[in-house]
Amino acid sequence: MNLTVSLDAKDEAPLHRQLYGGIRRAILAGRFGPGQRLPSTRAMAQSLGLSRTTVAQSYDDLISEGYLITVRGSGTFVCQELPEELLRSRPSPSVPAPQSAGKRLESNLSRYGRSLAAPLHFELARTNAPISFSYGHPDFEAVPFREWGRLLSRHCRSGSRKMLDYADDPLGHPPLREAVARYLGVARAVQCSPDQVVILNGAQQSLDLVARLIIDPGDAVALENPGYPGSFHTFRSQGARLIPIPVDASGIAVSQLYRHSKAKIKVVYVTPSHQFPTGAALSLPRRLELLAWAQQTGALIIEDDYDSEYRYGGRPIPALQGLGEGDSVVYVGTFSKVLFPSLRIAYLVAPRKLVPLISRAKWLADRQTSYVEQYALTDFINDGSLERHIRRMRTLYSSRRQALVRHLNAHLGSRATVIGENAGMQLMARISTGMTDEQFIARALGCRVSLSSAGHCYLTESRGGEFIMGFAGLGEKSICEGVRRLAQALDNPPRN
């Protein structure tokens, strides 16, 4: 047997891994054929000038991965079937697809499948402009990764079986449900006990599961107009009849709900703390009116409190859920905004009767939310890190919002009006552009800055000239430069 392995003491990889690599490569290249006997560890150690332990360690690794096999009393041999062969399926001869296959597939689609035939907004909205007022995400530079990494690695090292296995309970890690219930009681005046808290993969999953449990095709769902497109798509895909309800400076016009009494509205979806996208806060009289309407009609209110942590003036407005008595509200919140969206952890507070159904729906959808992250997040909340982080972000985002408003005033003057509350991670601005939103956005892109029209947030025809501008992820310099470029896009667009 002829083995040439270059071993380098200065290499980062330890010698036994270098030797392992050399033998594995020789096996895969066919230089050691199946069934061939390897030199004894002693002989190999002598010929390579290594210790026997080093050689034995490489052999052990290759044995445990299925490249080598030890036959007692005879020695170590290359396996007849290598792991690469066992893992790779042979390509099967391809059968030419009949022309009609695509058509047949289309006609086989479910109502849900057909509802997804057209691209959704998120697919159309991507740009790579150097300055982007994209919204929905926090400042990634400020994510407390060191702390987060420490907690994750502590739990990974613990290797607890409970953390690794399918969960006993799809509703979430019980200590996290307790921590969320405590947090919501204090920060949002939500009235709940931990058994009403469900941990899910995002507020979007909360909407999806609740929609599936409540809505049958043809049922009426009232939605804020303009509103959160993710809610439109979710309810529409369940076959709901969508009823747009206008929004003004005090939030959703609750009186309009009464006008639709014939429609028998089953669900109303609202963002009362910080209406998406207008930024209005639902006034107290309207909150009470909405709760009374729900009590009277038996409709369910879905309260999406997606970024309520970020209010920069006045006292926080308590959640609608905590104001009402009874079972009219499903409360939804997320860690996507206060931590980061790819974490995919959110929570829902449900009336008790719904909880077992949500548990079963969650189990059917995806079993559970990842447990390692749930363990880490429990510690992150309980040791006060979450509240500290939110306090820091509140200061940061408040100053970024102020900067954006200041620069809009300075560069666009009376052509721009900021609407909505002093809150959140994005604001809505009315900008008189004298052109369509698409034309303005294209001109802005020409000036290497991007922003979104609020047009896609309307269920009815949009009025145009309304733009959503995210500021949480942009430093003040970029905000200033971005707005200056928007002014340039209005006044002196670059020639193509």
Ligand X SMILES: Cc1ncc(COP(=O)(O)O)c(C=O)c1O
Q: Which residues are at the interface with ligand X (CB under 6 A)?
A: 136, 202-204, 228, 230, 271, 276, 304, 306, 334, 336, 341, 346
Separation between Cα atoms, residue 482 and residue 490, nearest integer Å: 13
Nearer to ligand X, 336 or 433 (CB): 336
DSSP state of 454: G
Contact 409, 211 (CB under 8 A): no
| DSSP character at residue 418 | E
Could you tell me the smallest distance in angstroms from the CB atom of residue 228 to ligand X? 4
Give the residue with the Cβ less far from ligand X, 79 or 377.
377
Q: Which two tokens stand for residue 218?
A: 């043809």
CA nearest 128: which of 441, 445, 473, 469?
Answer: 445
> What are the Cα distances from residue 361, in Å, to 29, 170, 220, 252, 355?
50, 9, 22, 30, 10
Please report how close the Cβ of residue 99 comes to ligand X at its closest, in angstroms: 40
Omega before 130 within 30 of 0, i.e. cis: no
Separation CA 117–CA 47 (nearest Å): 65
Cα–Cα distance for residue pair 382/371, rounded to 1 Å: 16
For the CB of residue 342, give the shortest distance to ligand X in the complex, in Å: 9
Nearer Cβ to ligand X (61/303): 303
Tell me how far apart the alpha carbons of residues 297 and 404 are, in angstroms, rounded to a whole number: 42
Report the residue number, 152 or 346, with the smaller CB distance to ligand X.
346
Radius of gyration from C-alpha coordinates of the chain: 29
Report, in Å, the least distance between residue 334 CB and ligand X. Answer: 3
The distance of closest approach from Cβ of residue 230 to ligand X in the complex, given in angstroms and rounded to an integer, is 6
| Comparison of 362 and 411: residue with beta carbon closer to ligand X | 362
Q: Find the residue with minimal CB distance to ligand X.
A: 202
* 26 versus 213: smaller Cβ distance to ligand X: 213
Residue with tokens 């399918």: 166
CA 14, CA 172: separation in Å to the nearest integer?
Answer: 41
The residue among 57 and 231 lying less far from ligand X, judged by its C-beta, is 231
Minimum distance from residue 276 beta carbon to ligand X (Å)? 4
User: Could you tell me the smallest distance in angstroms from the CB atom of residue 39 to ligand X?
Assistant: 57
How far is 206 from 188, CA to CA, in rounded Å? 18
